Amino acid sequence: MSTQKLAALSETNFQLPHQTGFHRGKVRDVYFFEKKIAAVATDRISAFDCILPAPIPSKGQVLNQMAAFFLEKCRDIVPVWLESLPDPNVSVGRRCEPIKLEMVIRGYLAGHAWRLYEGGSRKICGELMPNGMSESEPFPVPIITPATKADEGHDEDISINEILSRKLLDKNLLDQLLETTRMLYQFGTKMAAERGLILVDTKYEFGLDANGTLTLIDEVHTPDSSRYFIAEDYEKCLSAGRPQNHLSKEFVREWLMSQGFQGKDGQAMPAMNEEVVSRIRDKYIRLFEIMTGKSFIPDSSGNVLKRVESNLLKWCESVRP
C-alpha cells in the first residue's frame, strides 16, 4: 500500500479536562494530570537525537502496542507505569517522577559502541571493551552504559562512578537500577531468542511512583529502544565480515549516514521520499509481528487525530485523572 494513502499522526495539541501539563518529546506527546499521564505515540521518528522530516504512518500504533505487550510481560520483574490503552496510539498510567538516566545495556559490539571502538576508543562509560573485537561480536558479559536524559539536545554517556561522584543518584537506588536492568535484559534476550532474534542492546527508563517505588516507565524492547539481529543469519554474517541482518532503527541511522547526516552541527537533514518512508514502516510492522506473534492491523478510521482526541476525552470523563 502506498504510504501516501495512509494517515499519519505528526503531533497533537489537545486541551483535555483535568490536564495539568504537557510535554512534547521526540516521539511522544505526553499529557500530565494530577496522578496520571497519557502518552500519545505519534508517527514522528527520530535518529541522532533529531526528528526526521517525514512521519511514518502506523509507527506510533506499532510502538504503542508493542511497548504495552512487553510492559505487561515485565510486571513480574519490576512494577510498570502502564494501566490501559484507551486508543491504539495512547497509553495511560501512573504518574512517576522520572529518573533522568537512560540505562543502556549492550550484549554486542554494535551501533554507538562500535563507532567509538572503530575510532580507537576501548572504553565506553568507564567500561572496558576488549582489544581485537569485530563489529557485532558479543561482549564477554553484557555491559551497562548509562546516558544522561537531556531535556533538549543530545543525551550524553556517563559512567557509574560519575553518577555517584556527581550525586545524581544514591548508591542504593543505583544498585537497584543496575540489577533491574540486567534482569530485564536477560528476560528480553530470552523472549527474542524464542522468536529467532538476538537482542543486541536496549535501554530502560525508570521513575519513582508516589510511594517512592522504582517503576519501569516509557517503552521497552521496541525498535526505537532496542536493536535486534536475525539469529539464523548471525554466524554467517559475522564470519564473512558482512553487516548483520537486523530489525531495529539502526537501518534508519545507516541511511542517514549514507546521506552525510549524523546530527552534527552544520549537517543538513536529508529529504525522505515515499520509498524510504514505506521501507521504514514495513520494518516496524515486521518486528511487531515477529515479537508479538500477532498480525498487525492498522487503524482504518482515517482521521487519526480526531480519533485519538475522542478516545482521550472519553478516558478523562471515565477516570477523572
54 band by pLDDT with thresholds 50, 70 and 90: very high
The pLDDT mean for the chain works out to 93
Residue that wins the pLDDT comparison between 200 and 253: 200
Average pLDDT for residues 175-198, to the nearest whole number?
A: 96
Q: How far does CA 140 lie from the centroid of its chain?
A: 25
How high is the pLDDT of residue 257? 92
The pTM (predicted TM-score) of the whole model is 0.88
Unique residue bearing C-alpha cell 523472549: 191
Specify the pairing of strand 226-230 against strand 46-47. Answer: unpaired
Instruction: Tell me what pLDDT residue 151 has.
Output: 59
> How far is it, in rounded angstroms, from Cα 250 to Cα 16?
36
The predicted-structure confidence for 127-179, as pLDDT tens digits, reads as follows: 999 999 999 999 999 999 999 976 555 679 999 999 999 999 999 999 999 99
Residue 302 pLDDT class (50, 70, 90 cuts):
confident
Q: Residue 274, class by beta-carbon neighbours within 10 Å (0-12 exposed, 13-18 middle, 19+ buried)?
A: exposed
Structural domains of the chain in order of their starting residue, each with its CATH number: 3-96+262-319 (3.30.200.20), 97-248 (3.30.470.20)
Contact 81, 93 (CB under 8 A): yes
The length of the chain in residues reads 321
Q: Which of 51-65, 98-112, 279-293 has the lowest mean pLDDT?
A: 279-293
pLDDT tens across 111-125, in order? 999 999 999 999 999
pLDDT in tens, 222-263: 888 899 999 999 999 999 999 998 877 777 888 899 999 999
**What is the tens place of the pLDDT at every residue in 61-71?**
999 999 999 99
Q: In this predicted structure, which of 82-96, 146-160, 179-193 has the lowest mean pLDDT?
A: 146-160
Instruction: Read off the pLDDT band of 10 (50, 70, 90).
Output: very high
DSSP character for 251?
H
Helix ranges, the chain (H): 59-73, 111-118, 160-165, 171-194, 231-240, 250-258, 274-292, 304-319
Cell of 185: 535484559
